[in-house]
Structure 1
Amino acid sequence: MTDSEKRLSHMPSSATLVPEAECPKLLKPAVGEKDCEYTAGCEKDDEFVSGRYKEDSLFAWMVVLAGCIQAMITLGASRAHGVYQEYYVIDEFAHMPTATVSWIGSVQNTTLNLCGVFVGILSQVYDTRIMCAAGSLVMGLAFILASFSTEVWQLVLTQGVMFGSAASFPYILGVTVPLQWIKKRRGLALALVYMGSGVGGMWISILTRSCIDTVGRAWSQRIIGCIVMVLGVGLSPLIASRRPTQRPQKLFDLSVLREWRFLFIAGSSFFAMAPNTIPYILLPTYTADVLKESSRLGSTLVTIINVSGIFGRFVAGVLSDRFGPVNMLIVWTLLAAYSQLGIWLPFANVPATIASATLFGVTGSSIVGMILNALSHQYGVTRITYISGLIYMSYSISSLVVVQTTSIMLDTVGHGVDYTWPIVYTGLLLVVAMVVLIVFRFKLSPKLALVV
């Protein structure tokens, strides 16, 4: 048994795994000094945070609520892009290939996550409240400018690049800053934050469809832009970091890339988080092309994913606190893969599609929050914004590749109407992620009863 496994075997079930490199003690302790233990976050963390409000206080849960609403207007708006995708493909840009139109959503999602590492760096130097407010302001402006766009390339720049890069600030800060305030129920806190994306995806999808049908696409984007701007800027004062701002010794500290725990988490997120966007994008057009149903059903399916995701995130958070985020990630990824390969693929009918969307909403939409929870368990919260930014960067690359590859599959192999290979592709990526997580779990410890 290795030293790491010995430490794990004596660790309390509620402890949080933190690698030695993150602990305040020296990597090689002095004579007579005990090795740095895996504890529930480095205890020295509290010496570097503000003492005005304590962890797990009422204000701490207000920060969680603010993070929930920031996720609602950022990730929720991104999840609702499937409604715009359907309108662009079927109506406004029907003469263009699906792969070309898909650049709007794929670039939006890519920049939303790619800029995460820069948000992590800047959050160490600048006030997170100001960063959140500035990002929210530009995010709303991006939607308003998109309303005046008439070409795909213009929408790629506004609704894609501009919105995605600006939204990364309130999004990344909204999901990582609350981790600095919550210690006892961190899984539940993350679940509540990410439940916001499900709520946002639900009402923004419904509002977008209603606005497009009544006042048109342009006014729909102006209305959404004003809403996200007001909510984002108004709640920014609550996204307050507990750590004082200070310039880091290295702007890009890539030492974590050599840590095997980080590499396993990054690998699993690379394969698991990218397919997370595919059902949101494909289901609206799938209902029209394959099921021959109205666009209303497509919007309803996106809403079903978001509503079931609210329940799924809550359950995932509670179970992660009880059984460990890595253990639950394996189960959730397995069920997400089954929703694609076991339900959606073999049964091309409305009930099966609804069942697939529901199960995927419960499981697939929870994966991103559970991965962030696993990171906090492994590394504590001192540098969680920066480290999670690196994870989101890897996710952004895979997301761009997966979304575009899926669109090309649909246009070439599927001739725009056969969704078989895109569904298989999505499911197999989740299977690969599950295998990576299983190897990671047994590398942490072969003991099945251990909470990790």
Structure 2
Amino acid sequence: MASSSPTSSYGDVEKDNGWEKSGGTHEDQRVTQHEEDIIESLEPPFTENEDLSATGKDGATLEKVASAKPSINNIKSVPNGGLKAWLQVLGSFFVYWNAWGIINTFGVYQTYYETSLLSSSSPSDISWIGSVQATLLMLTGTLAGPLYDAGYVRTLLLGGSLLAVFGQMMLSLCTSYWQVFLAQAVCIGIGAGAIFVPGVAILSTYFNTKIATATGLAAAGSSLGGTIYPIVFYKLQPTIGFPWATRVIGFIMLATLIISNSVLKVRVLPAGRRKFLDLSAFQEWPYIFFVAGNVCCFLGLYEPFFYIQSYAIQNNIANPNIAFYLLSIINAASTFGRIIPGYTADRVGPLNMIFPCTLLAGILCLCLAAAYSLGPVIAILVLYGFCSGTLVSLPPTIFVQLTKNRAVIGTRMGMGFAITSMGMLAGTPISGAILGASSFTYVWVFGGICTVMGALLLCCCRVAKGGFGVMKKV
């Protein structure tokens, strides 16, 4: 019988751990986390027929048969490599390229809007466009989770891709603030959020022990997209104008998203539809500390991405020809900050990796307040880009680690991202208001302090999850 081995193994584990059943309950026996992991890994990758007396047309008893689809909780069925699995990384790479990559590009639009298209609007008003865009990416991803679980993966990918490209093309026709807000913040933000869910969720079904590496490689797409898109805009806008420079970016989005839609394939879906809420998560201190830390971090994370070009130009640190490359420098360095820490996190633990990187990012943001020449600014940006990259690549892996029941990973991840988005929504507009009332110095101080506070909360999460042992993999 195909099911005899896993079932027998499960029973052996029960016996080995001294489990006694009386009236269908366990009698005063506690199970360690290691033992729970063993039992979970032994879950058979098939659906068993519970009715052993069921008969076929010929009257014969039907045997238990393997299901065509493996259980999402069966760790042993995860490929953890192979051509198809790495093609999912490629598809997810271009999802990140056009989701977070577009978010990371907004700094070049912020500078352009302040001096040209939306010069009558304040920096704070302009930054609301980018912050709402990023917030909608996260919020839409949360709402799209149940659609993913229900099997509408192809609809999310195709619909989100078309909406994001449509928003980019409509942006090329905009001439006023409300038009830009609808096209860039709302349309692109919702489209990017719809494609982001499949890009992240599919990887977790193809990788287990290599999940941080796979996610880091995919997340590098956001950095490369955020590096290339600003350069494309800056090079083309003076020669062919804002409308066509924006359309060229739209065509690049279309081409790369075609690749994602072609290669991303669902391996297995949860047995039931996802709940919107799992309130039990807020009874677990590691989860609470991690979400609170993310909120603080994202309050301060994007200040350099949004304002570094304006800072360099207004303070005569660099001429406009060089200042426009500063955003690309951050994003280029962030590419390595997604791949290298992701690879290392599989060996030392993602929480052990994200805390020091985030702390250093906050300190580097504070250092910008004392940087008044090009050399120090570039050095700080390179290091900042590397360290800040972990806050995009590692959170999905950490949410998986903090969730015992794999069936609610998506729910808890969605809840965490939804709450985190509030920090992203408020962070850069607050900095814009600070800039309008004072100077860039206080923008960097605000961003740095928020990020350092977030890092300390991430440290609390690490201690709550793994204790005070410095060498323990967490």
Common topology (TM > 0.5): yes
Cα distance in structure 1, aligned partners of 2:82 and 2:44: 17
Residue equivalent to 1:5: none
Two-structure CA RMSD over aligned residues (Å): 2.3
Please identify, of 51-60 and 235-244, the stretch whose mean Cα deviation from structure 2 is larger. Answer: 51-60
Question: How many Å apart are 1:268 and its aligned residue?
Answer: 1.1
Cα distance in structure 1, aligned partners of 2:236 and 2:145: 35
Residue equivalent to 2:15: none
Residue equivalent to 2:300: 275
Residue equivalent to 2:322: 297
Question: How many Å apart are 1:364 and its aligned residue?
Answer: 0.9
1:446 to 2:468 alignment: yes
User: Does the C-alpha gap of structure 1 residues 447 and 52 become closer, same or farther in structure 2, counting only changes over 3 Å?
Assistant: closer
Cα deviations across residues 284-321 of structure 1 (Å, max 9, x unaligned)? 11111113532232321111111111112121112211
1:159 to 2:180 alignment: no
1:355 to 2:376 alignment: no
Cα distance in structure 1, aligned partners of 2:411 and 2:371: 42
User: Does the C-alpha gap of structure 1 residues 29 and 396 become closer, same or farther in structure 2, counting only changes over 3 Å?
Assistant: farther
Please identify, of 226-235 and 388-397, the stretch whose mean Cα deviation from structure 2 is larger. Answer: 226-235
1:130 to 2:155 alignment: yes
Among the aligned pairs, what percent are the same residue?
24
3-state secondary structure, aligned to 2:26 = coil
1:239 to 2:264 alignment: yes
Contact 1:143 1:225 in 2 (8 A): yes
Residue equivalent to 1:24: none
1:437 to 2:458 alignment: yes
Cα distance in structure 2, aligned partners of 1:388 and 1:92: 37
The residue type equivalent to 1:147 in the other structure is S
Question: How many Å apart are 1:383 and its aligned residue?
Answer: 3.6
Point out which structure has higher relative CO (alpha carbons under 8 A, 6+ apart): 1
Residue equivalent to 1:308: 333
Contact 1:111 1:161 in 2 (8 A): yes
Contact 1:119 1:386 in 2 (8 A): no
1:86 to 2:126 alignment: no
Residue equivalent to 1:344: 368
Contact 1:126 1:245 in 2 (8 A): no
Residue equivalent to 1:17: none
Residue equivalent to 1:369: 393
Cα distance in structure 1, aligned partners of 2:410 and 2:236: 36
Residue equivalent to 1:421: 442
Contact 1:125 1:246 in 2 (8 A): no
The residue type equivalent to 1:287 in the other structure is A
Question: How many Å apart are 1:275 and its aligned residue?
Answer: 2.3
Cα deviations across residues 244-270 of structure 1 (Å, max 9, x unaligned)? 365527444433233322211111111
Residue equivalent to 1:397: 422
1:178 to 2:203 alignment: yes
Structure 2: which 5+ residue stretches go unaligned?
1-23, 46-69
Contact 1:288 1:295 in 2 (8 A): yes
Cα distance in structure 1, aligned partners of 2:44 and 2:183: 40
Query: In the alignment, which of 18, 30, 36 is matched to residue 26 of structure 2?
Result: 30
Query: In the alignment, which of 28, 52, 71 is matched to residue 48 of structure 1?
Result: 71
Cα distance in structure 2, aligned partners of 1:211 and 1:194: 26
Cα distance in structure 2, aligned partners of 1:356 and 1:408: 24
User: Does the C-alpha gap of structure 1 residues 83 and 250 become closer, same or farther in structure 2, counting only changes over 3 Å?
Assistant: closer
User: Does the C-alpha gap of structure 1 residues 250 and 336 become closer, same or farther in structure 2, counting only changes over 3 Å?
Assistant: closer
Cα distance in structure 2, aligned partners of 1:271 and 1:187: 23
The residue type equivalent to 2:143 in the other structure is F
Question: How many Å apart are 1:276 and its aligned residue?
Answer: 2.3
Cα distance in structure 2, aligned partners of 1:333 and 1:54: 32
Contact 2:278 2:408 in 1 (8 A): no
Query: In the alignment, which of 398, 412, 426 is matched to residue 387 of structure 1?
Result: 412
Cα distance in structure 2, aligned partners of 1:77 and 1:409: 25
Residue equivalent to 1:72: 97
Cα distance in structure 2, aligned partners of 1:242 and 1:34: 34
Question: How many Å apart are 1:240 and its aligned residue?
Answer: 2.6
User: Does the C-alpha gap of structure 1 residues 295 and 246 become closer, same or farther in structure 2, counting only changes over 3 Å?
Assistant: farther
Contact 1:68 1:192 in 2 (8 A): yes
Question: How many Å apart are 1:29 and its aligned residue?
Answer: 6.5
3-state secondary structure, aligned to 2:325 = helix
Question: How many Å apart are 1:57 and its aligned residue?
Answer: 2.5
Cα distance in structure 1, aligned partners of 2:107 and 2:99: 14
Residue equivalent to 2:6: none
Cα distance in structure 1, aligned partners of 2:246 and 2:40: 45
Cα distance in structure 1, aligned partners of 2:441 and 2:111: 19
For the pair shown, the structure with the greater C-alpha radius of gyration is 2
User: Does the C-alpha gap of structure 1 residues 31 and 432 become closer, same or farther in structure 2, counting only changes over 3 Å?
Assistant: same
Cα distance in structure 1, aligned partners of 2:39 and 2:262: 26
Cα distance in structure 2, aligned partners of 1:374 and 1:244: 20
Contact 2:278 2:411 in 1 (8 A): no
Cα distance in structure 1, aligned partners of 2:424 and 2:81: 34
The residue type equivalent to 2:116 in the other structure is D
Cα distance in structure 2, aligned partners of 1:245 and 1:361: 36
Residue equivalent to 1:335: 360
- Structure 1 residues 166-205: aligned runs within 5 Å: 166-205=191-230
Contact 1:132 1:170 in 2 (8 A): yes
Question: How many Å apart are 1:189 and its aligned residue?
Answer: 0.8
1:258 to 2:283 alignment: yes
How many matched pairs? 420
Cα distance in structure 2, aligned partners of 1:40 and 1:264: 28
Residue equivalent to 1:4: none
User: Does the C-alpha gap of structure 1 residues 233 and 390 become closer, same or farther in structure 2, counting only changes over 3 Å?
Assistant: farther
Question: How many Å apart are 1:55 and its aligned residue?
Answer: 3.5
Query: In the alignment, which of 169, 182, 193 is matched to residue 144 of structure 1?
Result: 169
Cα distance in structure 2, aligned partners of 1:260 and 1:239: 35
User: Does the C-alpha gap of structure 1 residues 257 and 238 become closer, same or farther in structure 2, counting only changes over 3 Å?
Assistant: farther
Residue equivalent to 2:63: none
